[in-house]
Amino acid sequence: MTTRTPDRDAGRHQPTAHTGKIGPNAVIQLIEALRAAGLDAAMAPIFAEAGVRDWLRDPPTAMVDAAPVGRLHQAVRAALAPQQAALLMADAGRRTANYLLATRIPKPVQFLLRLLPARRAARLLVAAIRAHAWTFAGSGRFIAEAGLPTRFVLIGNPLCAGEHADHPVCAWHAAVFERLFQALVAPSAQTIETSCAARGDDACSFTVTWH
């Protein structure tokens, strides 16, 4: 059994006005995924363990401190079997990406990306993800390298800060990246987390490939 304890956010962040913040969909879509999985009864103790019980009644609607979001994600992972937690977090990540596709990425931009060759579309999508990294990286440092494969690195990931596990745990991030690439670059896109801070690695790293 793994043990997980939260810690303070680490690392550097790009836009200093948003240091230590993360977008509300890291909470909202997690709630939706828990409900879709039939885990309503488990939600109150999980949210209480993370110290954010009020979010069940009143989820955040704007940028929120990353530390309690990290505690919530870790509490979910601690309450579920590893495979179940990974599937649930992946569902929450896909829901977050679907929200971005529905409300945040202009439809003309999506249309253009789908018309472009995959590598060129990937470069443009990576640039957009890099520019908006402050919405999911908290105070962490985000590095993106476009290409085939595309690589993302998050140093000081607030969603697993202080967590200890024997396997990568960042299925939420991986699913967000994968769904965006599948929708805008190539339907065959897949994302694998190749290193994870919770496992003792220097950073959480993700590789996106497609054919």
Element (DSSP H or E) covering residue 154: strand 150-155
Structural domain includes residue 198:
yes
Structural domain includes residue 52:
yes
Beta partners for residue 151, in sequence order: 145, 207
Structural domain includes residue 11:
no
pLDDT in tens, 148-172: 999 999 999 999 999 999 999 999 9
- State which residues form the domain around 59: 16-209
Structural domain includes residue 22:
yes
Q: Label residue 86 by pLDDT band (50, 70, 90).
A: very high
Structural domain includes residue 98:
yes
pLDDT at 5: 36
**How far, in Å, CA of 105 to CA of 86, rounded?**
26
How distant is the alpha carbon of residue 207 from its chain centre? 14
- Predicted TM-score of the model (pTM): 0.90
What is the tally of structural domains in the chain? 1
Structural domain includes residue 205:
yes
Structural domain includes residue 5:
no
Give the CATH number, domain containing residue 128. Answer: 3.90.1520.10
How distant is the alpha carbon of residue 91 from its chain centre? 11
Three-class HEC string of 7-34: CCCCCCCCCHHHCCEECCHHHHHHHHHH
Structural domain includes residue 1:
no
**CA 104, 208, 135, 132: dihedral to nearest 10 degrees?**
-70
Report the SS3 class of residue 71: helix
Q: Label residue 11 by pLDDT band (50, 70, 90).
A: very low
Q: Is omega for the bond preceding 149 within 30 degrees of 0, making it cis?
A: yes
Residue 10 has pLDDT above 60, yes or no: no
pLDDT in tens, 97-135: 999 999 999 999 999 999 999 999 999 999 999 999 999
